[in-house]
Structure 1
């Protein structure tokens, strides 16, 4: 039987519903104090946050990460923003010593041809 944290009474402790997270609440019938004997820790496990960050770094989008972990996509976004804020600013080198470039072609639009073409 749980012990009232206010009066230390162990008898006459009645169940008084549950918290939003599902933990059992009790009411001491001696002093009337309502309490949760062992409240669940708030928030999500750190391991889940690390997993979300790793998925994001690997290229997965926020909504897919959220579906996979069973959380809201905004929650994943807040985790990533919080982690980014903790990272110290990376110092940029003062002088660029070597640059590598590749050729890149970009095609915009397409060739327009008429629907009826007749050879002349």
Structure 2
């Protein structure tokens, strides 16, 4: 026999917004609920902090440029665990950056630096303008 669903106006699912929820235990003294519509569990008194997509992309760009996760956490005022989760979850997405180099011999040094930071270069495109090389790199994060 399943639990009887209770429609509560004061509690709603943070994922789908439904009021079709059921009480489902009290771990550590906090009421836990089960949403009957989407099947997710959530805490009734918890506050959920959502960060913008722009902030997440900024963190990924900082990481791609060689900044440490701890430094990103301090600069963006985001918990270190959140930065780690973003890099782990969204790190496989491609980021692009443009780098100006004076000679192709420095490309090798740049690629070594990218490897040290845990990044892989998926494509190199060279453009020549007035004696200087402009190299656009498509960089993929390896988390």
With normalisation by structure 1, the TM-score equals: 0.38
Q: Please say which structure displays the higher CA radius of gyration.
A: 1
Question: Relative to total residues, which structure has the larger strand share, 1 or 2?
Answer: 2
With normalisation by structure 2, the TM-score equals: 0.32
Q: Which has the higher contact order (CA 8 A, sep 6+)?
A: 2
